[in-house]
């Protein structure tokens, strides 16, 4: 297959692109900087250097690509950008692909925050998202636009809270621990739905390879078990040597509400349809490794 990854040097995009390379596929990666392009080339990912919203720079490849992965994240205008990316790809695919060509597969990266915050109800991939976290409420509609696009074979993957490597959204928590104090957004008694970035990458690969069977599906990407937020912080005090006890900071911003959210997630769809099974130790069990990985990637080890 030929795969094009938007956000190829990002926390989701890079491990996903590496997984495709390892599986023998031809991988193109869109990235902003020349330095990152060099890193991609060293990983056998063919770099395309441009801003992701310079559509003409990369939509020209869509005539012959099999799968496009939107792994763009972390920008303030992500809502508008996500919608614009989808319509640019849909329009270019319509124009550039032969009438008999198989539909271009479009894998959109959403997130499990669309399930909202609930400490009593267990949810799964197919639970309706009626109370999403306000920060990401717009993603519910975006997911529907992706799977209902008439030109594309749309698939949605919703990563849970990510861990591993450079730490993603947990990096600031690790940083506070390294400075001697563990303080994070939340209240006692919450639970995290979590996924390691390498397990997530394996799901992108499986979804892409079986895209002709699973078009229109939305997959939650999370471990089989949730983890106690208090356990995570307690363990972080232990592995970092920070001065305990840990402290909860009352969330006062939609982003902090999202970080603090509890999702009792029991995903089944990717296991049932794609044979996917996360393999990594959980966040608490593997925390000394994950904390050391964050330290090393932050240049502190
Ligand atoms: C959690 O879900 C249950 C069942 O849908 C609902 O009755 C309850 O109000 C929800 N709790 C919150 C805090 O939204
Ligand atoms: C290599 C390439 O196609 N570069 C183009 C990227 O997009 C900008 C504007 O959108 C053009 O000016 C570049 O020539």
Local confidence pLDDT in tens for the 301 residues of the chain: 999 999 999 999 999 999 999 999 999 999 999 999 999 999 999 999 999 999 999 999 999 999 999 999 877 799 999 999 999 999 999 999 999 999 999 999 999 999 999 999 999 999 999 999 999 999 999 999 999 999 999 999 999 999 999 999 999 999 999 999 999 999 999 999 999 999 999 999 999 999 999 999 999 999 999 999 999 999 999 999 999 999 999 999 999 999 999 999 999 999 999 999 999 999 999 999 999 999 999 999 7
At residue 223, φ and ψ (nearest 5 deg) are: -60, 165
Residue 258 belongs to a domain: no
Residue 64 belongs to a domain: yes
CATH of the domain at 32: 3.40.50.720
Give the contacts of 125 (CB within 8 A, at least 6 positions apart): 158, 218, 219, 220, 267, 268, 269, 270
* Residue 131 CA, closest ligand 1 atom number: 14
Residue 169 belongs to a domain: no
Residue 156 belongs to a domain: yes
* Residue 116 CA, closest ligand 1 atom number: 14
Residue 189 belongs to a domain: no
Residue 209 belongs to a domain: yes
Residue 74 belongs to a domain: yes
Strand partners of residue 249 = 185
| pTM greater than 0.85 (yes/no) | yes
Q: Please tell me the number of the ligand nearest to residue 262's CA.
A: 1
Nearest C-alpha to atom 11 of ligand 1 is from which residue?
A: 118
Residue 18 belongs to a domain: yes
Quote the domain boundaries for residue 51.
2-164+194-224+265-280
Cβ of residue 49 lying under 6 Å from some atom of ligand 2: no
Q: Specify the number of domains making up the chain.
A: 1
């Amino acid at each position: 297959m030929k795969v094009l990854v938007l956000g190829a040097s990002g926390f989701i995009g890079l491990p996903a692109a590496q997984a495709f390379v390892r599986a023998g596929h031809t991988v193109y990666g869109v990235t902003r900087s020349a330095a990152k392009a060099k890193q991609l080339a060293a990983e056998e990912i063919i770099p395309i250097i441009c801003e992701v919203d310079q559509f003409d720079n990369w939509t020209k490849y869509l005539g012959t690509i099999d799968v496009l992965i939107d792994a763009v994240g972390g920008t303030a205008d992500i809502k508008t950008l996500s919608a614009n990316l989808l319509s640019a790809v849909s329009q270019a695919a319509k124009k550039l692909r032969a009438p008999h060509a198989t539909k271009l597969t479009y894998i959109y990266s959403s997130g499990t925050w669309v399930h909202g915050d609930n400490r009593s109800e267990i949810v799964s991939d197919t639970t309706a998202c009626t109370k999403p976290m306000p920060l990401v409420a717009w993603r519910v509609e975006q997911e529907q636009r992706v799977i209902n696009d008439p030109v594309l074979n749309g698939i949605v993957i919703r990563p849970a809270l990510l861990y591993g490597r450079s730490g993603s959204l947990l990096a600031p928590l690790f940083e506070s621990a390294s400075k001697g104090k563990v303080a994070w957004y939340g209240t006692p008694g919450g639970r995290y739905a979590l996924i390691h970035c390498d397990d997530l990458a394996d799901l992108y690969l499986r979804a892409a390879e079986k895209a002709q069977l699973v078009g229109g599906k939305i997959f939650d990407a999370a471990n089989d078990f949730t983890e106690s937020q208090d356990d995570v912080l307690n363990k972080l005090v232990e592995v970092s040597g920070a001065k305990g006890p840990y402290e909860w900071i009352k969330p006062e911003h939609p982003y902090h509400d999202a970080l603090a959210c509890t999702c009792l997630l029991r995903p089944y769809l990717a296991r049932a349809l794609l044979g996917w099974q996360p393999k990594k130790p959980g966040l608490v069990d593997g925390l000394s490794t994950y904390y050391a990985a964050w330290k090393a990637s932050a240049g502190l080890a």
